[in-house]
Structure 1
Amino acid sequence: MQDKEVAQGAQALLDWLQGQHQAMQDLLQKIVDIDSGSRHEAGVQAVAEVLRAHLEAAGIAVRFHAVPGYGVCLDAKVPGSGEGLPVLLMGHMDTVYPEGTAARRPFRVEDGRAYGPGVADMKSGLVLNVFVAEALARLGRQAPPVRLFFSCDEEIGSPATRDRIMAVAREVRAVFNAEPGRVSGNLVTGRKGSMVVEFEVEGVAAHSGINHAHGASAIDALARKILALHALTDPALGITTNVGCVQGGIVPNMVAPHARAQLDVRFTADTDMDALYGRIREIVEAESIPRTRGRITDMRRTMPMATTPAALLSLYQRSAERVGFTVDGEFTGGAADSGLTSSAGTPTLCGTGPVGGHPHTEREYCELSTFVPRAQALALAILGLQ
C-alpha cells in the first residue's frame, strides 16, 4: 500500500471518530443502565446484545460464546487486509454491582463526567473498542485485521473464561485492553496478579459460661491465622495480603465451632507463587490453638501483567501525540485479564479506555472529553502495527 493511501486512510479514520462523541455517549448510557454484575447472566447477555446490534449495523460479524452461569462472551472480527495475525481489542462486560443498582443510580452526566455503575470499569472501554472497530471496518482492506473479545466474569477472576482468553491471545499479534485510563491519563504497562483464598476453621462448641474450657474457638484460631497471613505482606517484594471478609460463630454465649474468611493476595511477576501459596496453606492448616483445624476451600488466581514492550508503548505514545495529548505508562496493583494475555506471551497494553476514576464505588466516573482522542490514538496505533 502506498504511503499516500495510508495517510489518507488514517486521516479519514480520525475525521470519522471526531464526529462520534455523542454517539459514544449514547451507547455508553444504554449499557450503563443495564445491570450486568458477575453471574447476572441475563444482564450480561443484554449488554452483549446492545453491543452486537451496533457492531452488526456497522457490517461487523459477531458471535456469542455461551458461558453457563455467567452469560456470554462477545467475539467479533474485522477482516481488514486479511494479512497477518489480528490485533485484539479486549474488555469485560461484567461489573461488581448487584442487580438493582442501575435503577437506583442510573447514568448521568455532570460537569463533563459520566456517572453510573461500571461507567469506567469498564463499559466506557467497551464502547471505545466498538467505535474503533467500526472506524477500522470503514477503511476496509487499508486496515489490519482486528478482533474484539469481551468476556463476562473478569471481576471475579475470570474462572470460566481464562482458558478461552489465553487461547485467543495466542491467535493475535498484540492486545489492547480497554480498562480505564488512570486518573493521571496514563496507560497501564504492568499489573500485579491477584489470588483469593477462601478458607474455614473448625473448632469445638461449648457453653461459654458453664464449660468454657471444653470448647476450642474457631474464631480465636481464625484471628491468629489472620495475624500470620497479614504478616506475609512485604511491600519491598510487591506482596500484599488482606483478609477482607470474615464470618463465624452462632451466638455470643457459645464457643464458636466454625469460622471462615477470604484472603486477597497481590503479587508481581517476580513472585514465587508456589512458595507463597505454600506458606499460606501452612498458616491455614496449622493448629493455631489445640483441637482446631483449618482448610482451604477455594482458590482463584489472576496472573500478573508482564511489562508492556517498549515498542508497543512508544507506538501508542506517537499516536497520542498526533491527536494532541501525551501519555506514559504506569504500574498498578489492580489485576485484570491483561495478565492472562501477557502470560500467554502476547505483547499487551492496558488502560487504553477513556480516563476514569473511583471504580467499584458510587463515585465511579468517566471523563467524557477523553473518549474521542483516546479512540483516535488507539486506532492510529493499530494502523501503525501494519
Structure 2
Amino acid sequence: MQDTLEESRSQLRARLLDWLAGQGQAMQDLLQKVVDIDSGSRNEAGVTAVATALRERLEAAGVAVQFEPVPGYGVLLHAQVPGPAEGAPILLMGHMDTVYPAGTAARRPFRVEDGRAYGPGVADMKSGLVMNVFVAEAFARCGGLKAPLQLFFSCDEEIGSAATRDRIMAKARGARAVLNAEPGRVSGNLVTSRKGSMVVEFEVEGVAAHAGINHAAGASAIEALARKILALHALTDPATGVTANVGVVHGGIVPNMVAPHAKAELDMRFTSETDPDELLAKVRGIVEEESVPRTKGRVTGSRRTMPMKPTPDELLALYQHGARALGFEVQGEFTGGAADSGLTASVGAPTLCGTGPVGGHAHTEREYCELATFVPRAQAVALAILDHP
C-alpha cells in the first residue's frame, strides 16, 4: 500500500513539473499582457485591468476568482484552487500596483533582449503574479493538494498598504504558509527577513519677509527644514539597522522672499528589533523642535510597513529541498526593502518572500526579469506546496 502511495505521489510530482516545464512561452505572453497595462498605485482602472487579465487565465483553468473592491486603489484578487476546502491554507501572495505613472507602459512597453524581459513592473512584481497564477493552474489541472491553496493579490503595496493592511493580516492569520512572489534576488536567493519602513510627511511654517529690505524680520522655513533634515539623518545607525532619508522637499515662493513655508517626506527603515512607535516619537520631537526662532514644525501624516520576521528554518529548508531536486541552490537573505510579507509574518504566519522569478533594478527604467528563471522558480514553489506537511 505504501509503495502504491509513493508511486502515485511520484507520478503526481512528474505531472506538475512536466506541465509547468511546457508553459514558458505562455508565462511570457501573460507577462507581456500585464506589463503593458499601467497599474501605478491609485490607478484604479489599471490595477483592475491587471486583475482581470489574471482572472481570465485562472477561470479558464477552473479556478474560482473573486474581486474585492478597494475604492481609490482598484481591487483585491482572491482565488482558491479546487481541492480540500477545510484546514489552514497555503497562501500565494503578490501585489498588482507599481511605482510608475500613467503613460509609462506606452513609452517603454514590454520587450525582450538577451533573455531578459524589460518594462514597468516586470520584476516588481508582475512576473511573480504570473508565476503564482501558473502554479495555481498546475494544481488545478493535476490535483494533489493536501490543504487549501489560495491566491491573494493586493493593490497598494508600493505606497505602504494603508488601505489593505488589515485585510492582508486577516487573510494571513492562521495560514499554514505564505509564499510572497516578490522578485528573487539578483543572486537567485530568497528573502527570509526584511526591514520595516516608515514614511513621515511634515511641514514647517516660517515668517515671510523681503530678503533684501527686511531680512531680519523673517524666519526661514527652509532654513529650519534644513536643520531638521540634518537632525533626522543623524538618526541613521548602522549598528541597529536604522536608516533615515529625506527624499522629497518643497518650499519657498520666490528667491527674494524669506520662505514662509516648507515641507518634506522622510523615509525610515528599521528591523524587527526596533520599536517603531519610539522611532516615530524621535522623529516627531525633531520636527516639532523650534530649530529656527519663530518657526513651527508639525507632522502631517505617517504610514508604515512592518518588518518581516525571519522565515522559519523548516519553510526555507522545504523550498531548498525542492530547488535542489530541480538542480539549483538558493539561500535566504536579509534585505532593507519592505513588503507585505512583513504584515503576514507579524501575525505569526510562516512567510517566505522573494519566491518570484529573478529580477533586478526595480523601480528604475532598467528593471528586468530573467525569463529563464520563470519555469524553475514556478516548479520550486509547486514542490514546496506539494511537500508541505
TM-score normalized by structure 2?
Answer: 0.98
Unaligned runs of 5+ in 2: none
Q: Secondary structure at the match of 2:65?
A: strand
Show the counterpart of 2:316.
313
Whether contact under 8 Å (1:81, 1:141) holds in the other structure is: no
Q: Secondary structure at the match of 1:237?
A: coil
CA distance in structure 1 between the partners assigned to 2:107 and 2:88 by the alignment: 44
Would you say 1:193 and 2:196 are equivalent positions? yes
Whether contact under 8 Å (1:20, 1:372) holds in the other structure is: yes
**Could you tell me which amino acid in structure 2 is paired with residue 308 of structure 1?**
T
Show the counterpart of 1:284.
287
| CA-to-aligned-CA distance 1:226-270 (integer Å, 9 cap, x gap) | 000000000110000000000000000000000000000000000
**Could you tell me which amino acid in structure 2 is paired with residue 106 of structure 1?**
P
Whether contact under 8 Å (2:12, 2:144) holds in the other structure is: no
Would you say 1:218 and 2:221 are equivalent positions? yes
Query: How much identity, in percent, do the aligned residues show?
Result: 76
CA distance in structure 1 between the partners assigned to 2:318 and 2:158 by the alignment: 29
366, 370, 383: which one aligns with 2:369: 366
Show the counterpart of 2:64.
61
CA distance in structure 1 between the partners assigned to 2:172 and 2:145 by the alignment: 23
Would you say 1:380 and 2:383 are equivalent positions? yes
Would you say 1:246 and 2:242 are equivalent positions? no
TM-score normalized by structure 1?
Answer: 0.99
Show the counterpart of 1:204.
207
Show the counterpart of 1:260.
263
Count of aligned pairs: 386
How many Å apart are 1:137 and its aligned residue?
1.2
How many Å apart are 1:142 and its aligned residue?
4.3
Show the counterpart of 1:90.
93
Would you say 1:342 and 2:345 are equivalent positions? yes
Show the counterpart of 1:7.
10
RMSD across aligned positions (CA): 1.0
CA distance in structure 2 between the partners assigned to 1:313 and 1:356 by the alignment: 20
Show the counterpart of 1:34.
37
CA distance in structure 1 between the partners assigned to 2:211 and 2:382 by the alignment: 67
| CA-to-aligned-CA distance 1:104-132 (integer Å, 9 cap, x gap) | 00000000000000000000000000000
How many Å apart are 1:4 and its aligned residue?
2.0
**Could you tell me which amino acid in structure 2 is paired with residue 127 of structure 1?**
V
Whether contact under 8 Å (1:82, 1:141) holds in the other structure is: no
Whether contact under 8 Å (2:174, 2:348) holds in the other structure is: no
Would you say 1:18 and 2:21 are equivalent positions? yes
Show the counterpart of 1:177.
180
CA gap of 1:266–1:332, structure 2 versus 1, over 3 A, is: same
Would you say 1:330 and 2:333 are equivalent positions? yes
CA distance in structure 1 between the partners assigned to 2:183 and 2:197 by the alignment: 18
Structure 1 residues 337-346 or 267-276, which shifts more? Answer: 267-276
CA distance in structure 1 between the partners assigned to 2:15 and 2:243 by the alignment: 47
**Could you tell me which amino acid in structure 1 is paired with residue 361 of structure 2?**
H
Whether contact under 8 Å (2:194, 2:307) holds in the other structure is: yes
- Which aligned pairs between 1:66-215 and structure 2 lie closer than 5 A? 66-215=69-218
